[in-house]
Structure 1
Amino acid sequence: SALPRDLDDGSRAASALTAGTLTSLGGTSSRRGSGETALTVDAESSIREIKEIHELKDQIQDVETKYTQNLKEAKDALAEVEEKYRKAMVSNAQLDNEKNNLMYQVDTLKDSLMELEELLSESRREYEEKVKEYEREKHAHGVLQFQFSEMKEMLKQSEELLNDIRQLRMKQDSFVREISDLQETVEWKDKKIGALERQKEYTDAIRIERDELREEVVQLKDILKVLAIRLRKLVDEREKMIEQVKKLKAQLEQKTQKNGTDSSPDGEIIENGNDPNIMELQRDSNRQISDLKFKLVKAEQEVTALEQNVTRLEGQVTRYKSAAENSEKVEDELKAEKRKLQRELRSALDKIDELESNNSHLSKRLEKMKSSRALLC
């Protein structure tokens, strides 16, 4: 805000000086009409440029207002997060209370379980005694039916093995299809990750360019400061030139009046009616005035060029800031996509490991069943 204020002050001073220059140079003679027209055009151009600078100041104020609004929204979001954190702490305290209650219930259930285990142990002892009595009574009948029961059990196991083998084959085919689908998914994810890595290289290049742009913005700000200082110096120099022109005109008028009132000692009159010294002094004064006018016009042109450079540099700073913000947004989106793909890849790999483990377990069980069937045969 300091730089636009300096530019505003310098522009007002430039406008005032231009008007003063027009007033001081307006009554000299009709031969300077073309110079007055040029100065009027320069004054109008300076006024237009001052209006443009005011418009830029209004735009900067709008940006500051938007920044204040965004800061307020961020503070509101922070307050909401703090409220959620407080609620979570209250919920944790409630969970701790529930945990203590559950621990008490667990201890109570453990005591009940110990009592039940004692009853179970006593029941088992009674059961074992009755079983022994039953076995003694059934020993004779059991010997006769042992071979029949054994053959019947073997037949039942064979049927179960055949059913298990059919089910295992169906599951194995399903697992093979799922593994194939997962492998295709993993290959597709690998390709997508490769594409993201290439995008990351592009993002790194954008980040490097963003850093360079930031450095260039800093340099441009330094240039703006230097240009502002130079602008003030040119305005001061123009004021000095205008004062010098006024002084020279006053000196010229004084010498003209003084030489006009004094008479020649000899009473001689020059053919053109003027003193040669006065003519020479007038020519020197006119030459100095012309030089000062040229320097004044040149200084005004430099001021205009500097103001245009300031406007152009401010536009470049805005574009560089926008490019940096866009590159940061693209980088964040790429990082989020990469994290999502990595989670999906880990999930797919875990599922593949689980399926391979199940397949290995089923294969071992199938081999065991085949061995049992071979022994039965």
Structure 2
Amino acid sequence: MSGRRRPGQRYSAEDQALSSISREAESRAQALSANRAEARSYRMEALERQRKEMTDHDDHHSAGDSSTRSSYRSTLPPVSSTSSSISTRPRYSAYTSGFGSRKGSYDASADGEKDLRERLNEAQDKLKQAMLNNAQLDNEKAALKFELENIKDDMLETEEKHISLVKEHRKKNTEHELLKRDYEKSQRDVEAAKHMLEERDRLITEHNLVLVGEDANNEAEEEEDEASESREVPKAKAPLHLVTKEAADILKEAGSGSLDAKIKKLSEENQNLLDQIHRLTLDNQELKAQSTSSRSDGLDRTARLNGPDSAIVASAQREAQQKVNEMKNKLQKAEQEKSTLEAEKTRLEGQVKRLKTTSDKLEASEEELKVEKRKLQRELKEMQVKVEDLINNNNHLQKRLDKVKESKLGVMSASGKES
């Protein structure tokens, strides 16, 4: 009965204080029980002495009565002869009548003593029963006090658990508030990213630009993949690039495939055009040389002949000149197209690099925001579940504390009534 339940985790000062309090309470309980046992033994000894005294008194009283009766018998006169008996008959009859009255009074006193003894025995039995009841009540009172001490210990333990749970609940609430703030910050970042995307789309529309890439025609599919949160790591997507409508038409004419493949194909076509222009330039130079030589030959021939074939020579020269002019025009156009294509290529390459860098940054930030958002949502759900569990535990402990308080009040009221 001495090993009481104590809280599992307490500070050293509290442990020492509680242990000293428990030792003092146990010493007081032991002293009280010893005093009660001693008082009980004293009461039993006193009752035993009283019983012995009453028994001795009864024996002495009965012995006195018997001696009185014997002395009384010895004082009676002896019976004489028949002659004297006749003369003394009236006196004997008077004596016998007096003796009968004394005997009746003695019987009445004996009955009274017997009644008194019975009453005394009943009183002694009642006293013993009362003493037993009192001892039983003392034992019950001690047990109830011990139970009250245990209930107090349980109440202290419950209060400490309640305080620790309240502290933990506050800590979890603080963590929940921090997570909520982080979640709100992530929401703001997501909204800012959406606003940036909307601004990008607006600028694209204002400057007549077009998004090109492998996934340009599957925007709905991409949005669906972006909205899905079931996967931890999103699928990698091909980057999109901004180009003008003319460049988009050129890339569209280049066929299907990735943007790098289309640019490579256009570069090969440009290189082929450059080679063709180079060949045409060489052919033009050859034609120029041929036309110069043919013109000089024609002039010499005209000077030599100076006859009816001069018209034919002139027409041939005109045709050759027309061909030369046509080739010059073609060469100029090819050079212009070459310079235009080179400028467009340089511009497109720079724009592609810039847009690729921007798109990669935006996609990386967007993916990071998505991962962070999913992480925060999971943590928020976990914290909500933990908060609900803590609230349920708090309610359960509060109910237990109320029950313990009610039982404590009942025990205190019962002990007050008994005292």
Normalised-by-shorter TM-score class: 0.3 to 0.5
User: Comparing both chains, which one has the higher relative contact order based on Cα–Cα distances under 8 Å and sequence gaps of 6 or more?
Assistant: 1
- Max radius of gyration: which structure? 2
After TM superposition, the score normalised by the length of structure 1 is 0.47
Q: Which structure's residues are more often helix, by fraction?
A: 1
